[in-house]
Amino acid sequence: MEIIKSSRSNLPVLQLKGRFDAHEVEPVNSWLAEQVKAGNARLIVNLEGVNFIDSSALSTLVRGLKLSREQGGDLHVCTLQQPVRVIFELTRLDKAFDIFPTEEAAAKGF
Amino acid sequence: MFPTITDKHREMFKSLASGWILIGASCVQLFEGENVLIGCPNSIVNTEAALSVTSLTSGLTLCVYGITDANWTPAVESMLDVFSNMLTADADLDNLTAALVETQDRLVALYELTQATRRTLDMPKLLDLLIKQSKHLMNVDGGFVVLKEKGKKTIIHQISEEPLHPAHAEAAATLYLREPNRHIFKESETLPVNLKNVMMVTLPVRDEISAAVGLFNKTGNFTTPDIKLAKAIAGHIGAQLENAMLHKEAVERTRLETEMDIARQVQTAILPQTIPQIKGVDVYATSIPAFEVGGDFFDVINRSDDSLIFALGDVTGKGMPAALLMSMTHTIIKSASRNMPFDYPHQVLDRLNHDMAADFTNVGMFTTVMLGLVDCSARKLHFSNAGQSPIYHIPAQSEPVLLEAQDIPVGILDSVQYSTQSLDLAYGDIFVAASDGFPESRNPGGEMYGYERIKNLFSVSRKLPAKQIAEALLTDVNAFCGTHPQDDDRTIVVIKFEKPDENKIMFNESLTIHAEYKALREPCERLRILLKRSGVPEETISLCELALQELLANLVDHAYEGNPNGQITVRMAGSREQIAIQTEDTGIPANVNLEEIHMPAPEELAEGGYGIAIIRTLIDEVQYKSLQGKNIWTLVKRIN
């Protein structure tokens, strides 16, 4: 999996590409923890390039969501491919996250 | 005993006697008892008075005639002493020479024996040589050899003008084996009547054989040198005998191996190389012969477009005789199945039994046979079982059932009538015939694989295609046996009844990975490729891939607790009807009640617990079994 760290409207964005599974969660976990620790509680994870996501990856995102909300922020996910969206729906986590069609919408959504 | 009187003795006697004649003696004579040994002068017989002295040690008497003065007696005594000593010394020398000559004789004889035995590896000839030489060297009436080996008939070999009763020879051997440090037995003891004396020595062959050589009726008595000589001969022949036995065994072994090779070739040649397939039945059959070919056979024959005959049998015994009878049996089944009009399989067994009973009885063998007829249009399976075991019926909707044989094996009774049983087939039903080589396989601890393990294995492998059901069993039995060699053939026929056109296997493969996250990608991506190639819709592919990923990640976390040395085998099989995924690991058994697992509620924001819930949501059938130290998960996804 490829990880690109960027920002939009001064909000940290993590852009992921490829297979997001148990083997790949560690750097994402670290990034989420670092950002929250640095006081950036509003985070965006762009899943545009992700074609496969498993329950470990989802759990990592849930952890990030909880960390950011505890600091008064939120974690927005955006640009989900169809198979990834299906899995969010399957686990009903589409009800837990705010999901946006674009990165721009995710930034504006805070 | 005194030596022969030589000229040297006469000369000496003459010179000593001449002294007496000078002082007036008429004649001097030396007697042994009443016989004159030497006289001087030679031929005069004197009757006149004489001085006569007899030696107490040698028993010789010296007479000096014509002299009566007793003062001369000491001189007569000293002459007798001188002469007696000389004769005794000469006698000793003679004896010594004779002994030397005899020893030389014996050495020469031993050498000749060595030369003779080097040229023969034949056991009776060696024993002949042993006895003949001993007899010749020790001057006895005869000799015998007794060979006793545990569990075998005692061998008695003898050479003698008047042969001993074998029981007498054995009795002497028993006497000796009880007291192996004693070698000489005399008639006064417990010897049979016609034995005056016997000398016994051990014939050193090999530990498991006790062997002894006996020599009997020596003129005079056996002596210590005789024992030594007999031991030397026996030692030599014993070593040669052992060579002969080893040679014989090697020849026998080679013969057996050759026979086994031929038997294996016969068996391999007659077993079908390809298995015919008909619509609606997934058939697989295979046979793994043991080193000592066990006589298993199988066949699968197309009878028509929608009926199939299959047979599996096991001829008793091993090697060439089993292979020959097997090939005859197989030929009759094959030709009867193809050409004989019949409605039920027992008719073929009746015919087979009728044709072969006499042949089997003649060699004291028989064969078990299971003959089945699958009728796809009537959805029936008819089978007749002459003593074959195990046979399993695995209904699609219930647990495997072991079917007992209804009839006795073929070749035991000519008059027996075989019977047929019939099963109604539902789609997904499986019928397995196997040879006893499976349940009777043993592990190094001597434990048998048994019927229960087979049944348990079928209850988890039933979703797989016929070939994989058979292979899963072969693999499991192999793993169970470990280093214990395969004792008997393992033969199996698997018949799986399926909806026509839906039994087509699109893929069927397996791979083994280490239990670590980074290794999970390979089987998942492989599954994706296989499904894509089979035309499965993209959405179904994604869901199957996710289910496999979740299952494997769960095994990494819980079965092996993150230990990457653990191994997971993944089997993937797909037909047009369904996709089956099976994993096998040897980690910690799962303690899970699948029915109780639900997707966490979104508001909980749970950081785990999604994996198995995802699988349950995506997969139509999820099964977990812990079996003989292995954990087996089976996922079945039906394709609409």
The Cα diameter of chain B in Å comes to 161
Helix (H, G, I), strand (E, B) or coil at B1: coil
Lowest mean pLDDT among A20-24, B71-75, B135-139, B368-372: B135-139
* Three-state SS at B44: coil
CB of A73 closer than 8 Å to CB of A43: yes
Question: Is residue B543 less than 8 Å (CB to CB) from chain A?
Answer: yes
Is 0.80 surpassed by the pTM of this model? no
Query: A82 vs chain B: nearest CA distance in angstroms?
Result: 9
pLDDT for residue B110: 66
First-to-last C-alpha distance (Å) of chain A: 27
* pLDDT band per the 50, 70, 90 thresholds, residue B116: low
What is the number of CB-based contacts under 8 A between chain A and chain B? 71
Model confidence at B155, pLDDT cuts 50, 70, 90, reads confident
Whole-number pLDDT of residue B501: 61
Counting beta carbons within 10 angstroms of the beta carbon of residue B184, is it exposed (0 to 12), middle (13 to 18) or buried (19 or more)?
A: middle
A74-78 vs A42-53, strand pairing mode:
parallel
What average pLDDT is seen over chain B? 85
Query: Of B97, B112, B140, which residue sits at a domain end?
Result: B97
d(CA B31, CA B112) in angstroms, rounded, equals 46
Residues B340 and B478 in one domain: yes
Query: Residue B141: is its pLDDT beyond 90?
Result: no
Rounded Cα distance, B56 and B138, in Å: 35
What is the pLDDT, as a whole number, of residue A3?
Answer: 94
Contact, A80 vs A99, CB < 8 A? yes
Residue A20: in which H helix or E strand, if any?
strand A11-20
- The string of DSSP codes covering B290-303 is -SS---EEEEEEEE
Instruction: For residue A14, name the pLDDT band (cuts at 50, 70, 90).
Output: very high
- What is the average pLDDT across B352-374? 90
Whether the pLDDT of residue B250 is over 90: the answer is no
Q: How far apart are CA B130 and CA A98, in angstroms?
A: 105
CA B323 to chain centre: 19
CB B16 within 8 A of CB B29: no
In this structure, what are the phi and psi dihedrals at residue B266, rounded to the nearest 5 degrees?
-60, -50
B87-104 per-position pLDDT tens digit: 877 777 777 676 666 666
Give the three-state DSSP class for B365: coil
- Residues of chain B with Cβ-Cβ distance to A63 below 8 Å are 607
Which pLDDT does position B505 carry in this prediction? 74
Confidence grade of residue B431 (pLDDT, cut at 50, 70, 90): very high
Residue B290 is assigned to a structural domain of this protein: yes
Q: Please say if the pLDDT value at position B11 is more than 90.
A: no
Strand ranges of the sheet holding B35-40, from the earlier edge strand across to the other edge:
B35-40, B27-32, B60-65, B50-54
Report the number of distinct structural domains present in chain B.
4
Contact A91 B610 (CB under 8 A): yes
- Give the pLDDT confidence score for residue B117 in this predicted structure: 64
Most confident of A11-25, B347-361, B452-466: A11-25
Task: Check residue B555 and give left, alpha or beta (phi > 0: left; psi -120 to 50: alpha).
Answer: alpha
* CA A101/CA A81 separation, integer angstroms: 10
Once rounded to an integer, what is the mean pLDDT over residues B446-468?
91
| Domains detected in chain A | 2-108 (3.30.750.24)
**Range B171-184 average pLDDT:** 82
Task: Note whether residue B256 is domain-resident.
Answer: no
| B210 and B320 belong to one structural domain | no
| B113 found inside a domain | no
Q: Is the pLDDT of residue A17 over 90?
A: yes
ipTM above 0.90, yes or no: yes
A63 touches chain B (CB under 8 A): yes
User: Which is it for strands A11-20 and A42-53: parallel, antiparallel or unpaired?
Assistant: parallel
Across B58-72, average pLDDT: 84
Task: Determine the straight-line distance between the first and last CA of chain B, rounded to whole angstroms.
Answer: 121
- Of the three residues B450, B473, B497, the one that is the final residue of a domain is B497
Q: Could you tell me the CATH number of the domain that includes residue B351?
A: 3.60.40.10
| Residue A39 pLDDT exceeds 70 | yes
> What domain range is B282 assigned to?
271-497
Q: Which of A23, A52, A91 sits opposite B545 (nearest CB)?
A: A52
Chain B residue with CA closest to A25: the answer is B517
Question: What is the pLDDT averaged over residues B562-576?
Answer: 91
Q: Which residue has the higher pLDDT, B347 or B136?
A: B347
Question: Do residue B474 and residue B370 come from a single domain?
Answer: yes
Taking CA–CA distances from A93, the nearest residue in chain B reads B602
Instruction: Kindly report the CATH number assigned to the domain that includes residue B156.
Output: 3.30.450.40
**B131-152: b or e for each residue (b if 16 or more CB lie within 10 Å)?**
bebbbebbebbbbbbbbbeeee
Render pLDDT for B184-242 as a digit per residue (tens, 0 to 9).
887 666 677 777 888 888 888 777 777 888 888 887 788 887 888 888 888 877 887 78
When pLDDT is cut at 50, 70 and 90, the band that residue B33 belongs to is confident
Q: Are residues B132 and B171 in the same domain?
A: yes
In this complex, is the C-beta atom of A85 within 8 Å of any C-beta atom belonging to chain B?
no
For residue B37 the two structure tokens come to 């040994």
Helices (H), B119-213: 123-138, 166-178
CA distance B457 to B244: 51
pLDDT tens for each residue of A57-87: 999 999 999 999 999 999 999 999 999 999 9
Tokens 């560690």, located at residue = A26
Cβ within 8 Å, pair B520-A52:
no
In A, minimum Cα distance to B547 occurs at: A54
Confidence check: pLDDT of B442 > 90: yes
In angstroms, rounded to a whole number, what is the distance separating the alpha carbons of residues B126 and B145?
Answer: 11
A82: nearest CA in chain B? B539
